[in-house]
Protein backbone atom coordinates (compact mmCIF):
# COMPACT_ATOMS: atom_id res chain seq x y z
CA UNK A 1 0.00 0.00 0.00
CA UNK A 2 1.17 3.52 -0.82
CA UNK A 3 0.02 6.18 1.63
CA UNK A 4 0.13 9.91 0.89
CA UNK A 5 0.58 12.04 4.00
CA UNK A 6 -0.42 15.68 3.68
CA UNK A 7 0.88 18.26 6.14
CA UNK A 8 -0.89 21.30 7.59
CA UNK A 9 -3.11 22.76 4.84
CA UNK A 10 -4.21 26.04 6.46
CA UNK A 11 -6.90 26.85 3.91
CA UNK A 12 -4.37 27.13 1.07
CA UNK A 13 -6.30 25.70 -1.86
CA UNK A 14 -3.69 26.24 -4.64
CA UNK A 15 -1.09 24.37 -2.55
CA UNK A 16 -3.49 21.57 -1.65
CA UNK A 17 -4.54 21.04 -5.26
CA UNK A 18 -0.93 20.96 -6.43
CA UNK A 19 0.10 18.45 -3.77
CA UNK A 20 -2.83 16.17 -4.55
CA UNK A 21 -2.04 16.29 -8.27
CA UNK A 22 1.59 15.36 -7.56
CA UNK A 23 0.66 12.57 -5.16
CA UNK A 24 -1.86 11.05 -7.56
CA UNK A 25 0.99 10.38 -9.99
CA UNK A 26 2.50 8.13 -7.31
CA UNK A 27 -0.34 5.57 -7.42
CA UNK A 28 -1.65 6.40 -3.95
CA UNK A 29 -3.96 3.90 -2.23
CA UNK A 30 -4.72 5.81 0.97
CA UNK A 31 -4.75 9.49 1.94
CA UNK A 32 -3.83 10.94 5.34
CA UNK A 33 -3.79 14.55 6.59
CA UNK A 34 -2.22 15.62 9.89
CA UNK A 35 -4.66 18.38 10.92
CA UNK A 36 -4.89 22.16 10.70
CA UNK A 37 -7.08 21.94 7.65
CA UNK A 38 -8.11 25.56 8.30
CA UNK A 39 -6.55 28.75 9.66
CA UNK A 40 -4.34 31.46 8.11
CA UNK A 41 -5.53 31.03 4.50
CA UNK A 42 -8.71 32.18 2.77
CA UNK A 43 -10.33 29.06 1.29
CA UNK A 44 -11.32 26.84 4.24
CA UNK A 45 -14.55 25.50 2.74
CA UNK A 46 -12.89 24.47 -0.49
CA UNK A 47 -10.04 22.70 1.33
CA UNK A 48 -12.48 20.78 3.53
CA UNK A 49 -14.46 19.73 0.47
CA UNK A 50 -11.34 18.53 -1.33
CA UNK A 51 -10.08 16.44 1.59
CA UNK A 52 -13.53 14.92 2.05
CA UNK A 53 -13.66 14.02 -1.66
CA UNK A 54 -10.41 12.05 -1.21
CA UNK A 55 -11.83 10.09 1.70
CA UNK A 56 -8.73 11.18 3.62
CA UNK A 57 -8.11 10.07 7.20
CA UNK A 58 -7.65 13.33 9.13
CA UNK A 59 -6.96 14.26 12.76
CA UNK A 60 -7.82 17.57 14.36
CA UNK A 61 -5.25 20.36 14.57
CA UNK A 62 -5.00 23.25 16.99
CA UNK A 63 -6.39 25.78 14.49
CA UNK A 64 -9.30 23.46 13.71
CA UNK A 65 -9.97 23.14 17.44
CA UNK A 66 -9.75 26.90 17.97
CA UNK A 67 -12.26 27.59 15.22
CA UNK A 68 -14.65 25.20 17.00
CA UNK A 69 -14.11 26.92 20.35
CA UNK A 70 -12.43 23.82 21.75
CA UNK A 71 -9.16 25.66 22.34
CA UNK A 72 -8.61 29.09 23.85
CA UNK A 73 -7.68 31.42 20.99
CA UNK A 74 -5.67 33.66 23.33
CA UNK A 75 -2.98 30.98 22.96
CA UNK A 76 -2.44 32.19 19.36
CA UNK A 77 -0.65 35.25 18.03
CA UNK A 78 -2.66 38.23 16.80
CA UNK A 79 -2.60 37.27 13.12
CA UNK A 80 -3.66 33.71 13.83
CA UNK A 81 -6.55 34.94 16.02
CA UNK A 82 -7.78 37.22 13.25
CA UNK A 83 -7.72 34.30 10.82
CA UNK A 84 -9.49 32.01 13.31
CA UNK A 85 -12.33 34.53 13.80
CA UNK A 86 -12.62 35.08 10.05
CA UNK A 87 -12.62 31.35 9.33
CA UNK A 88 -15.34 30.73 11.90
CA UNK A 89 -17.55 33.24 10.09
CA UNK A 90 -17.02 31.49 6.74
CA UNK A 91 -17.75 27.88 7.60
CA UNK A 92 -20.97 26.11 6.72
CA UNK A 93 -22.83 23.80 9.07
CA UNK A 94 -21.39 20.75 7.32
CA UNK A 95 -17.87 22.16 7.71
CA UNK A 96 -18.33 22.60 11.46
CA UNK A 97 -19.71 19.08 11.73
CA UNK A 98 -16.77 17.71 9.78
CA UNK A 99 -14.17 19.42 11.95
CA UNK A 100 -16.00 18.28 15.09
CA UNK A 101 -15.79 14.69 13.84
CA UNK A 102 -11.98 14.72 13.67
CA UNK A 103 -10.22 12.79 16.48
CA UNK A 104 -7.13 13.90 18.36
CA UNK A 105 -5.43 10.57 17.59
CA UNK A 106 -6.00 7.99 14.86
CA UNK A 107 -4.63 4.47 15.34
CA UNK A 108 -4.70 2.71 11.98
CA UNK A 109 -3.12 -0.72 11.66
CA UNK A 110 -0.33 0.84 9.53
CA UNK A 111 0.23 4.09 11.44
CA UNK A 112 -0.63 6.45 14.27
CA UNK A 113 -1.75 9.95 13.32
CA UNK A 114 -1.85 13.04 15.53
CA UNK A 115 -1.24 16.74 15.02
CA UNK A 116 1.42 17.29 17.68
CA UNK A 117 2.86 15.02 20.34
CA UNK A 118 1.18 11.89 21.68
CA UNK A 119 1.86 13.19 25.18
CA UNK A 120 -1.47 14.91 25.97
CA UNK A 121 -2.42 15.25 22.27
CA UNK A 122 -5.29 17.61 23.10
CA UNK A 123 -2.69 20.19 24.17
CA UNK A 124 -0.95 20.14 20.78
CA UNK A 125 2.67 20.07 21.89
CA UNK A 126 5.36 20.38 19.21
CA UNK A 127 7.76 17.69 18.02
CA UNK A 128 10.84 19.81 17.36
CA UNK A 129 13.70 17.75 18.77
CA UNK A 130 14.73 14.20 19.58
CA UNK A 131 13.46 14.75 23.14
CA UNK A 132 9.85 15.35 22.04
CA UNK A 133 10.11 12.60 19.43
CA UNK A 134 11.15 10.09 22.10
CA UNK A 135 8.19 11.10 24.27
CA UNK A 136 5.80 10.42 21.40
CA UNK A 137 7.48 7.20 20.31
CA UNK A 138 7.15 5.76 23.83
CA UNK A 139 3.39 6.19 23.48
CA UNK A 140 3.17 5.18 19.82
CA UNK A 141 1.70 1.69 19.51
CA UNK A 142 2.23 1.31 15.77
CA UNK A 143 5.52 1.09 13.93
CA UNK A 144 4.91 4.27 11.92
CA UNK A 145 3.67 7.64 13.18
CA UNK A 146 2.77 10.85 11.35
CA UNK A 147 2.61 14.35 12.86
CA UNK A 148 2.60 17.96 11.71
CA UNK A 149 2.18 21.25 13.63
CA UNK A 150 5.77 22.58 13.35
CA UNK A 151 5.57 22.96 9.54
CA UNK A 152 9.17 21.68 9.34
CA UNK A 153 9.90 18.24 7.79
CA UNK A 154 11.75 15.73 9.95
CA UNK A 155 12.06 11.97 10.41
CA UNK A 156 13.01 10.21 13.66
CA UNK A 157 14.19 6.61 13.29
CA UNK A 158 14.31 4.26 16.29
CA UNK A 159 16.50 1.38 15.16
CA UNK A 160 15.84 -0.89 18.18
CA UNK A 161 13.40 -0.76 21.08
CA UNK A 162 13.99 2.48 23.08
CA UNK A 163 17.33 3.06 21.36
CA UNK A 164 18.77 6.45 20.55
CA UNK A 165 17.10 8.05 17.57
CA UNK A 166 18.54 8.90 14.19
CA UNK A 167 17.08 12.29 13.27
CA UNK A 168 16.84 13.53 9.68
CA UNK A 169 16.00 17.15 8.90
CA UNK A 170 15.76 18.08 5.23
CA UNK A 171 13.34 19.81 2.85
CA UNK A 172 13.18 16.57 0.84
CA UNK A 173 14.39 13.10 1.69
CA UNK A 174 14.06 9.41 1.00
CA UNK A 175 15.01 6.62 3.38
CA UNK A 176 14.29 3.02 4.29
CA UNK A 177 12.32 2.02 7.39
CA UNK A 178 13.13 -1.68 6.95
CA UNK A 179 15.34 -2.12 10.01
CA UNK A 180 13.54 0.34 12.28
CA UNK A 181 11.62 -0.57 15.40
CA UNK A 182 9.55 2.64 15.15
CA UNK A 183 9.50 5.74 12.98
CA UNK A 184 8.00 9.18 13.57
CA UNK A 185 7.65 11.46 10.56
CA UNK A 186 6.85 15.17 10.60
CA UNK A 187 5.65 15.77 7.08
CA UNK A 188 6.05 19.56 6.98
CA UNK A 189 3.28 21.77 5.62
CA UNK A 190 1.20 21.87 2.48
CA UNK A 191 -0.05 25.41 2.90
CA UNK A 192 2.46 27.30 5.06
CA UNK A 193 6.00 25.84 5.07
CA UNK A 194 8.33 27.30 7.71
CA UNK A 195 11.69 25.79 6.79
CA UNK A 196 12.61 28.67 4.43
CA UNK A 197 11.50 26.59 1.46
CA UNK A 198 8.18 27.97 0.17
CA UNK A 199 7.33 24.85 -1.84
CA UNK A 200 4.42 22.76 -0.58
CA UNK A 201 5.39 19.56 1.26
CA UNK A 202 3.89 16.10 1.35
CA UNK A 203 5.11 12.59 2.11
CA UNK A 204 4.69 9.05 0.82
CA UNK A 205 4.99 5.82 2.77
CA UNK A 206 5.26 2.55 0.83
CA UNK A 207 4.30 -0.19 3.27
CA UNK A 208 5.49 -3.00 0.97
CA UNK A 209 8.90 -1.55 0.13
CA UNK A 210 9.25 -0.02 3.63
CA UNK A 211 10.40 3.32 2.28
CA UNK A 212 9.38 6.88 3.01
CA UNK A 213 9.76 10.06 0.99
CA UNK A 214 9.24 13.74 1.70
CA UNK A 215 8.57 15.62 -1.53
CA UNK A 216 8.27 19.32 -2.38
CA UNK A 217 6.32 20.90 -5.24
CA UNK A 218 5.97 24.42 -6.58
CA UNK A 219 2.48 25.91 -6.49
CA UNK A 220 0.84 29.21 -7.41
CA UNK A 221 1.81 31.26 -4.36
CA UNK A 222 0.54 34.47 -5.95
CA UNK A 223 -2.96 32.99 -6.28
CA UNK A 224 -3.00 32.04 -2.59
CA UNK A 225 -1.77 35.52 -1.67
CA UNK A 226 -4.50 37.19 -3.71
CA UNK A 227 -7.26 35.27 -1.95
CA UNK A 228 -5.82 36.15 1.47
CA UNK A 229 -5.67 39.85 0.65
CA UNK A 230 -9.09 39.86 -1.03
CA UNK A 231 -10.59 38.34 2.13
CA UNK A 232 -9.21 41.22 4.19
CA UNK A 233 -6.91 38.98 6.22
CA UNK A 234 -3.60 40.40 7.52
CA UNK A 235 -1.12 40.94 4.70
CA UNK A 236 1.63 39.25 6.70
CA UNK A 237 -0.20 35.96 6.12
CA UNK A 238 0.21 36.49 2.39
CA UNK A 239 3.79 37.76 2.48
CA UNK A 240 5.15 34.87 4.51
CA UNK A 241 4.20 32.36 1.80
CA UNK A 242 6.95 33.72 -0.46
CA UNK A 243 9.53 33.26 2.25
CA UNK A 244 8.62 29.84 3.65
CA UNK A 245 8.56 31.11 7.23
Is-contact 244 193, C-beta < 8 A?
Answer: yes
pLDDT at position 73, please? 87
pLDDT at position 171, please? 94
pLDDT at position 163, please? 67
Q: What percent of the chain has pLDDT over 90?
A: 94
Nearest to 75 by CA among 113, 126, 147, 35: 126
pLDDT at position 44, please? 98
The whole-model pTM stands at: 0.95
Nearest to 59 by CA among 136, 132, 149: 149
pLDDT at position 74, please? 87
Contacts of 234 (CB under 8 A, 6+ apart): 78, 79, 82, 83
130-165 exposure pattern, b = at least 16 Cβ within 10 A, e = fewer: eebbbbbbeebebbbbbbbbbbbbbbbbbeeeeeeb
Task: Place domain 2-243 in its CATH homologous superfamily.
Answer: Metallo-dependent phosphatases (3.60.21.10)
pLDDT at position 174, please? 95
Structural domain spans, the chain: 2-243
pLDDT at position 75, please? 83
pLDDT at position 241, please? 98
Torsion angle of C-alpha atoms 2, 99, 53, 212, degrees rounded to 10: -10
CA distance 132 to 155: 12
Is-contact 55 31, C-beta < 8 A?
Answer: yes
Write out residues in the chain with pLDDT < 70, as ranges: 161-163
Question: What ranges in the chain are assigned the alpha helix state H?
Answer: 13-24, 44-54, 62-67, 78-90, 93-100, 130-139, 221-230, 235-243
Amino acid sequence: MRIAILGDVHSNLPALRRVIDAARRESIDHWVQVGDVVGYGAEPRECIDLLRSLGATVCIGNHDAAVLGMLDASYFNHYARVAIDWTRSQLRTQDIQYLKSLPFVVEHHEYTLTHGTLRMPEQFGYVLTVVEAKESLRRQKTRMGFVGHSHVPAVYLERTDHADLDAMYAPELETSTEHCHKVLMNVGSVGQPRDEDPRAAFAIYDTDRQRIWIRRVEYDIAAAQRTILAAGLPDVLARRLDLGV
